[in-house]
Amino acid sequence: MEKFSKWRDASTGIQPFLTPMPSRTNANIYAKIAFMLGIILKPILGILKLLLTFVTAILLFLLVDIIGLALKNFKSVYRTYHYIFTSLLSRLSLFFMGFYWIRVETVSLRKGRPSIPKLRQISGVRPGDVIICNWTSYVEVLYLAFRFDPIFTQVYPSSNTLRPISLWTALWLTGSYPEDKPPSSVKTYSLQELVREATINKLGPIVVFPEGTTSNGRALLKIAPTFKSLSLPIEAFSIHILTARYEYDNFSPTYTVGNKFWHFVMLCSQYFNVLHVKILAPEESLSSPNFAIPSAQSSVLPSPSIIQDDVIGSQILNLMGQLGRMRKTNLGMEDKKAFLDFYWEKTSGYAKKK
Q: Is 51 part of a structural domain of the chain? A: no
Rounded CA separation 327/222 (Å): 11
Least confidently predicted of 99-113, 245-259, 264-278: 99-113
Q: Is 13 part of a structural domain of the chain? A: no
Name the β-bridge partners of 280: 107
Q: Is 171 part of a structural domain of the chain? A: yes
Q: Is 284 part of a structural domain of the chain? A: yes
Residue 30 pLDDT level (bands cut at 50, 70, 90): low
Q: Is 135 part of a structural domain of the chain? A: yes
How far does Cα 191 stand from its chain's mean position?
18
Is the pLDDT at 296 greater than 60? The verdict is no
- Average pLDDT across the chain, whole number: 85
Q: Is 86 part of a structural domain of the chain? A: no
Rounded CA separation 200/10 (Å): 45
Q: Is 71 part of a structural domain of the chain? A: no
Contacts of 175 (CB under 8 A, 6+ apart): 138, 213, 214, 255, 256, 257, 258, 260
Q: What percent of the chain has pLDDT over 70?
A: 83
Residue predicted with more confidence, 310 or 226: 226
Strands 219-220 and 327-328: parallel
Q: Is 105 part of a structural domain of the chain? A: yes
Residue 229 pLDDT level (bands cut at 50, 70, 90): confident
Kindly report, residue by residue over 35-44, the tens digit of the pLDDT: 566 666 778 8
What pTM did the predictor assign?
0.88
Residue 268 pLDDT level (bands cut at 50, 70, 90): very high
Is the pLDDT at 294 greater than 60? The verdict is no
Q: Which domain holds residue 322?
A: 97-345
Interval 48-61 mean pLDDT = 96
Is the pLDDT at 159 greater than 60? The verdict is yes
Strands 161-165 and 151-156: antiparallel
Alpha-helical (H) ranges within 102-231 are: 119-122, 138-148, 167-173, 191-200
Is the pLDDT at 295 greater than 60? The verdict is no
- For residue 93, what pLDDT is reported? 97
Kindly report, residue by residue over 85-94, the tens digit of the pLDDT: 999 999 999 9
Kindly report, residue by residue over 176-207, the tens digit of the pLDDT: 999 999 988 889 999 999 999 999 988 999 99
Structural domains in the chain (count): 1
Nearest in space to 320 (alpha carbons), one of 52, 184, 133: 133
